[in-house]
Structure 1
Amino acid sequence: FNPLFTTDGEHIIFISNRRFEPTYCDLEWEMIYREIAGIYAVTLKKEGKSLVPFKSDEEPVGTETAVAGGSSGAGGTTGAAPSVHIDFDGITDRVEALPIAKGNYRSLAVNERSLFWLNSDEGNFNRFEVAGHGPMNLFSWSLKSGKGSQLVEGIDDYRLSADGSTIVLRKAGGILLMPADGGDASPLKLTDLKVWHDPVSEWKQIFNEAWRMERDYYYEPGMHGQDWPALRLKYEKLADRATCRQDLTFIIGEMIAELNTSHTYVYGGDSKRRAEPVNTGMLGADYSVDKQNNLYRFSKIYREKDWSREEWPPLSKPGINIAEGDYLLRINNTDVKADREVYSYFTGLAGKQVSLTVNSKPTLTGAREVTVVPAGSESRYRYMDWLESNRLAVDKASGGKIGYIYLPDTWNGSATDFPRYFYSQTKKEGLIIDGRFNGGGLDPEIFLQRLQKKPHAFWTRRQSADQPIPHLAVDAHMALITNRYAGSGGDELPYEFRWFGMGPIIGTRTWGGLVGVSMFIELIDGGTITAPDYRIYNEKGEWVVENEGVTPDIIIDVDSKKYSEGYDTQLMKAVEVVMQKISEEPRSWPQHKPYPVDR
């Protein structure tokens, strides 16, 4: 990818992912490949010379100068564009690797003297740039000497000027210029730059651009039977009457909604005002009011730690020892009373050490002080508590036979939480996969394929329990729970679960939005739109899921009253179904025959 011609037209330089060195998982026999990119050159003519020829190893005699040989550094001189001739016969045999270590290369550029690229050891450089990567470092490599060097680190992007003499850098929100041959970068001064802004003309351009992007990138060229030019004329009349960017956003949204397709989003651009968030400290607790004494008590304390994201509830730290039922009497020597909102006492205290005065009785006599650091949000603590409460409820209802795994999305959330619950429950007789509220992301098969590893043989050894092959095989009866709030990848999760025959699906029909978006298209004012550019169909060629959803095998909704009392009807139905399968079809390991006796 990222091919470019050298300035003399003799070679094409490109990046290719073809240097494989495995990295092994610390928990199971799995491998991934990182930093697989190399930089390569292809000589275009059969009689052409290598871009990296051998250099003479002889010392120069007298005043003679040693000649490197080869093409003039992808060079030549500036001026008229070179004539390019390509001999396609045998062209793949004329590919060679440049002597540059493997890495995560992006954004090649070349001038007469040097090759440039971005690289970074940190970040995600996968096929779809999922999760992205941060700033990268800019490198150059001399086409003549074959030596490389780092020019600048931590930049967001760069461009080489048309004459190849200057590099324009974007770094930390600023623009800098530096000589292409190296040297210090200097800020591009834009203080006196003035731009005359015509909002109405800009909105017209944005409307037309949004219409064109849908026309060019929407997955179905027939636009679902819509007369797309006619729709442009229809909504253009409204766009001409827009009085603000919010009007325009609404109008574009109505236009692309005519496609009757999910994932057609439009986001506003020119935001003029942004409210400063209020810094409010939170302890990860629920409170009740003692009306008689006008005091707050801790009614519930969230203690479940999120080890992966390194978020620990403030009151879970050893030595604090605040119990549910204790009174919160003072915060930093300020009396706390229940006739005032409890969070108002924590304004401005997130991330700071705070002194709490607490007691098991509604009095300062015998009270004690503890130091805590309130968090800026407690949503993660409540989420982890919900997960662990569900796991414990399933464990209790099944007598320890069934495990519980929650998948919040089909992306980073599940990628982070899945290992915590999967690796510790592979030996359960049953598993409940909870896909409710799943926000989607990418293909969920990355999780399901682990759940489908079945034991095909076993290892035995002395003084150890026998082990299945593969080591983390799952031989459990399974069920999946879903609901109407699961969409996109959250739709695909139960669809694939059913297709693989992994077990029954329980809950309510899913959202019904399963098309894909490869890019968020940026508009001139910083707003964005999406144009769904791919859609799912099954092995029979039938369109599935989009605008339909996935209907469960067992339809059951959450009973709100019972849920408020701590009973999840969907979750307990799944326990009932899986327990029945365990009873009907018990799974057990085979007993090996007596050890052979050789005499």
Structure 2
Amino acid sequence: MPNYLHAIFIYSLANGSTHQVTDATSDCRDPVFDANGKYLYFTSSTDTALTSGLWEMSGMERPVTRHVYAATLVPGTPSPLAPNAGFEPSSPGSAGHVDGKTRKTAVTVAIDFSGLQARALPLPISAANYVGLAAGKSGVLYLQKAPLVTMPADVTPFGVPVSIERFELASKKTATVVSGITSFRLAADGAKMLYQRGSNWFIAATKPKAKPEKLATQSLRVFVVPSEEWAEMYRDAWRIERAYFYSPIYDGLNIDQAEAEFAHYLPGLASRDGLSFLFREMTGYLSIGHMFIYGGHQPKMSDIKVGLLGANYAIEHDHYRITRIFTGGAWNPQLYAPLAQPGLKVKVGDYLLAVNGQPIRGDANIYQAFQNLANKDVTLTVGPRPGMAGAHQIVVKTIPSEHALRNVAWIDHNIRLVNRLSGGKLGYVYLPDTEWGGYKNFNRYFFSQVDKQGVIIDERFNHGGDLSDYIIQYLQRKPMALVVTRWSHPEIAPPMAIFGPKVMIINSSPAPAATRCRGTSRWTMSARWSASAPGAAGRHRRLSETDGWRWHHRAARRRGRTQRTFPGGKPRHRAGCHRVAEPEAGARGAGSTARARGADRAAAAQGASAAALHALAVARLPPASATTAT
């Protein structure tokens, strides 16, 4: 609907008419008919709020609950909750069953659309985050219940696990049938269900504690002719673009000609990877950002899991010497630093002499000694000298990746650096993306530093995600009240804000959805645009403040890009976005220059020190991860 909520519609197969059943003042979904043809069931929520929009960080971690409603299809039908509604317990021997078999009766459905929404009433089912609804035998509903808030840790490779709740109108009771599943289908007669738990599939009766039957899907095989399958996928790719591409003129591309031209390459494909390469080449001519090609069948590779210790090394005296031990920082319960555990007799400066009794020398790759030892206990021989004299053994558990340890160490270093150079006046927040990573980092680091006078937002290497509205609204907060009491300190409201100057560090890598905030100065750590964007309106100076930095997805992206000639002589351009900087101060108009000077004076007036700005220049880039053997 125009307000981003959902409504229930009923379509008539007899005459092709469509009728809207519910208005859009509540988010209504999951409509199903009762088997008796008298009732319509659906779920409704009035607290979807910001979760109804698209691409908004503000919708993260917001609980959504739904109620289950039943509407009588014609006036005069008894309420489904009335004693005379006619529902009976759905068990063998009850109405609808004869000798263990379901008795089939013809059902005639009549609907009076006038006042249908007014005839809906909530069922006595506890509100929850229901994500699916199915109707079994008459008066029996099956609800898919998801966590109230879905966190990244809740998501499995197969989806978000849910539980199936069974509700009977006869008894007005709800019971859990099965939990921890990611897919669910109910049989047409409502007697059995098919569900997925992990990578396994089961069939079970639709009653609590029913014993499931595991399906032997491991032996299932599908035989295909790759060349025929790839040809069909090729046709489907162009069909999908014709149907769903945002522009009916396909950004000027003759789509029929393009499909015919690239089809000449199909007979020469020798692998699934070759098909993906062809897809990337041909869709590039649509000249649009966010066009991704991924997936497909790939040969199964045997990975070599290398164990890591969370440390840096240097080769000295023909042995590996530990030069840094990563600790995982403070308040990071999800991180494990192998060499920083309490009680371990190892420190920076010690030599790593052997792994599981096998000596290590400086002329060998240190990671070769840790092959297939990820997440395993290993015995290390360490000592203060490049020899066994004075050496001792310790037992540690390795980790498969050091990325999180090194990233946290880099963030902590930048926080300390900014704090020292600004005299404790400025905070520092790193945003790796505008999804869960950036959301988590902003909540953790920004609000814990609201006692600062200003803040540096670092979004180098930000790989995008949702719109950063959540972050921007807190960066733009302004004082609204001053709360003064006699025996306490005065407080500015809203309290969770930093009202002073804000500076953003960027480089050539942030994605289109990265944070941009009016009134926030931006500092670039790269002179990339002066060399690679000759068509831009101006250039970034190294470590120079730029105003009005923005993305151009349309005309600007074609400036300064290498042209490619498509068959037929029409020049085309590769897909992608192009960043364009505003002219430098000397090329700007008087108004722009005055605004820039005004911003400089405002920043100076609010206490931005030269030392703090110097911190932007010396903040180091994330260190490269240690090389691992694969």
User: TM-score scaled to structure 2, two decimals?
Assistant: 0.72
* CA shift in 2, pair 1:210/1:31, >3 Å: closer
Q: Among 199, 216, 219, which residue is 2:226 paired with? A: 199
Q: Offset at 1:468?
A: 1.9
Q: Among 521, 524, 536, which residue is 1:503 paired with? A: 521
Q: Offset at 1:125?
A: 8.5
Contact 1:505 1:553 (8 Å CA) reproduced: no
Corresponding residue number in structure 2 for 1:4: 32
Corresponding residue number in structure 2 for 1:280: 306
* CA shift in 2, pair 1:96/1:32, >3 Å: farther
Corresponding residue number in structure 2 for 1:320: 344
Q: Offset at 1:471?
A: 1.9
Contact 2:137 2:189 (8 Å CA) reproduced: no
Q: Offset at 1:225?
A: 2.9
Corresponding residue number in structure 2 for 1:487: 511
Corresponding residue number in structure 2 for 1:549: 579
Contact 1:314 1:375 (8 Å CA) reproduced: yes
Corresponding residue number in structure 2 for 1:210: 237
- 1:396-416, Cα deviation, whole Å (9 max, x unpaired): 322222221110000111122
Contact 1:5 1:11 (8 Å CA) reproduced: yes
Q: Which residue identity does 2:116 align to in structure 1?
A: I
Query: For 1:336 and 1:472, how far apart are their aligned partners in 2?
Result: 53
* CA shift in 2, pair 1:188/1:335, >3 Å: closer
Name the SS for the 2:335 alignment partner: coil
Contact 1:283 1:315 (8 Å CA) reproduced: yes
Q: Offset at 1:582?
A: 4.4
* CA shift in 2, pair 1:143/1:254, >3 Å: farther
Q: Which residue identity does 2:521 align to in structure 1?
A: G
Query: For 2:61 and 2:453, how far apart are their aligned partners in 1?
Result: 30
Contact 1:430 1:578 (8 Å CA) reproduced: no
Query: For 2:218 and 2:309, how far apart are their aligned partners in 1?
Result: 45
* CA shift in 2, pair 1:6/1:440, >3 Å: same
Q: Offset at 1:445?
A: 1.5
- Aligned-pair identity in percent equals 28
Q: Offset at 1:448?
A: 2.0
- 1:374-431, Cα deviation, whole Å (9 max, x unpaired): 2211111111121122222222322222221110000111122223321222122221
Q: Among 193, 200, 214, which residue is 1:174 paired with? A: 200
* CA shift in 2, pair 1:391/1:116, >3 Å: same
Contact 1:124 1:133 (8 Å CA) reproduced: no
Name the SS for the 1:280 alignment partner: coil
Name the SS for the 1:168 alignment partner: strand
Name the SS for the 1:235 alignment partner: helix
Q: Offset at 1:433?
A: 0.6
Q: Among 117, 120, 128, which residue is 1:103 paired with? A: 128
Corresponding residue number in structure 1 for 2:425: 401
Query: For 1:394 and 1:273, how far apart are their aligned partners in 2?
Result: 46
Q: Offset at 1:453?
A: 2.2
Query: For 1:15 and 1:543, how far apart are their aligned partners in 2?
Result: 45
Residue 492 (structure 2) pairs with residue 471 (structure 1): no
Name the SS for the 1:250 alignment partner: helix
Query: For 1:132 and 1:476, how far apart are their aligned partners in 2?
Result: 45
Q: Among 345, 348, 352, which residue is 2:372 paired with? A: 348
* CA shift in 2, pair 1:427/1:445, >3 Å: same
Contact 1:157 1:169 (8 Å CA) reproduced: yes
Residue 315 (structure 2) pairs with residue 289 (structure 1): yes
Which stretch of the first structure deviates more once superposed, 253-262 or 358-367?
358-367
Name the SS for the 1:424 alignment partner: helix
Q: Offset at 1:162?
A: 3.2
Query: For 1:230 and 1:146, how far apart are their aligned partners in 2?
Result: 62
Alignment of 1:353-392 (within 5 A): 353-392=377-416
* CA shift in 2, pair 1:334/1:470, >3 Å: same
* CA shift in 2, pair 1:391/1:33, >3 Å: closer
Give ranges in structure 1 of 5+ residues lacking alignment: 22-29, 56-66, 513-537, 556-576, 588-599
* CA shift in 2, pair 1:213/1:31, >3 Å: closer
Q: Among 236, 255, 261, which residue is 1:228 paired with? A: 255
Q: Offset at 1:209?
A: 2.1
Corresponding residue number in structure 1 for 2:82: 54
User: Over aligned residues, Cα RMSD in angstroms?
Assistant: 3.8
Residue 605 (structure 2) pairs with residue 584 (structure 1): yes
Corresponding residue number in structure 2 for 1:156: 182
Q: Which residue identity does 1:162 align to in structure 2?
A: A
Residue 58 (structure 2) pairs with residue 36 (structure 1): no
Contact 2:136 2:190 (8 Å CA) reproduced: yes
Contact 2:158 2:198 (8 Å CA) reproduced: no
Name the SS for the 2:499 alignment partner: coil
Corresponding residue number in structure 1 for 2:4: none
Residue 471 (structure 2) pairs with residue 447 (structure 1): yes
Q: Which residue identity does 1:109 align to in structure 2?
A: A
Corresponding residue number in structure 2 for 1:569: none
Which stretch of the first structure deviates more once superposed, 435-444 or 393-402?
393-402
Query: For 2:307 and 2:336, how far apart are their aligned partners in 1?
Result: 14
* CA shift in 2, pair 1:5/1:226, >3 Å: farther
* CA shift in 2, pair 1:304/1:157, >3 Å: closer
Query: For 1:174 and 1:204, how far apart are their aligned partners in 2?
Result: 32
Query: For 2:413 and 2:256, how far apart are their aligned partners in 1?
Result: 54
Corresponding residue number in structure 1 for 2:116: 91
Q: Offset at 1:578?
A: 10
Which stretch of the first structure deviates more once superposed, 144-153 or 503-512?
503-512
Q: Offset at 1:47?
A: 3.1
Corresponding residue number in structure 2 for 1:248: 275
Query: For 2:184 and 2:556, how far apart are their aligned partners in 1?
Result: 43
Q: Which residue identity does 1:151 align to in structure 2?
A: V
Query: For 2:471 and 2:233, how far apart are their aligned partners in 1?
Result: 40
Corresponding residue number in structure 1 for 2:626: none
Residue 34 (structure 2) pairs with residue 13 (structure 1): no
Q: Offset at 1:31?
A: 11
- 1:556-575, Cα deviation, whole Å (9 max, x unpaired): xxxxxxxxxxxxxxxxxxxx
Query: For 2:159 and 2:326, how far apart are their aligned partners in 1?
Result: 33
Contact 1:479 1:506 (8 Å CA) reproduced: no
Give ranges in structure 2 of 5+ residues lacking alignment: 1-28, 50-58, 97-102, 534-549, 558-575, 586-597, 609-630
Which stretch of the first structure deviates more once superposed, 434-443 or 104-113?
104-113
* CA shift in 2, pair 1:579/1:306, >3 Å: farther
Contact 2:61 2:149 (8 Å CA) reproduced: no
Which stretch of the first structure deviates more once superposed, 140-149 or 359-368?
359-368
Q: Offset at 1:310?
A: 1.4
* CA shift in 2, pair 1:351/1:191, >3 Å: closer
Query: For 1:192 and 1:445, how far apart are their aligned partners in 2?
Result: 49
* CA shift in 2, pair 1:233/1:164, >3 Å: farther
Number of aligned residue pairs: 508
Q: Offset at 1:226?
A: 2.5
Corresponding residue number in structure 2 for 1:335: 359
Q: Offset at 1:119?
A: 1.1
Name the SS for the 2:449 alignment partner: coil
Q: Which residue identity does 1:103 align to in structure 2?
A: A
